[in-house]
Amino acid sequence: MPRQLQERLRAELRRELPPGAVPQAGDTRRLPLLQATVTETLRLRPPAPLALPHCARRTTRYGAAWTPGSILVPNLLAAHQDPDIWHHPEEFLPERFLAPGAPLRALLPFGCGARSCLGEALARAELFVFLGQILQEFRLEPPAPGLLPSLRVRAGTVLRCPPFRVRMVPCQAPA
């Protein structure tokens, strides 16, 4: 995460939370940049690259025709990288979710419909609280200058990134 973004997130946390308070799951409206950062993280790296299979109920045309009974497996990773929907899809830009008209309906990191993940609300809340608490106390840096982790992933049931290290540098409280 770029240092400038981390500083903006820390400023938002300091501005919106009383001294000594930690972010809570109900603070998403008060901390829009933190919420947008979690959302952008889920867009770039959804928990699973593919959603659960769906069965077409009627003939549908999207590129090819699917007849009733066709099994569809939505590719969430590809949908979140579609340049027709996402401006600069390969870049980490949390600000895209702060702008009016952000394509939130195209964001499906936990699937959609009857087969969406039941744990979505809990996962989002945990990511929000965890990231907020870490950024209140630490600056995240690569282990050495210029040594950034690879963003390449290996697809499987879940996405796997290569192991990486990060330095957690304690932040000094503003004077």
Neighbours of 150 (CB within 10 A): 9
Are the CB atoms for 23 and 13 separated by under 8 Å? yes
Write b or e for each residue in 90-99: b if 16 or more Cβ atoms lie within 10 A of its Cβ, otherwise e: eebbbebbee
Find out whether 123 and 47 touch, Cβ atoms under 8 Å: yes
The one-letter code for the residue type at 94 is P
117 among annotated binding-site residues? yes
Is residue 13 a contact partner of residue 136, using CB atoms and an 8 Å limit? yes
Q: Which residues does the annotation place in the binding site for heme?
A: 117
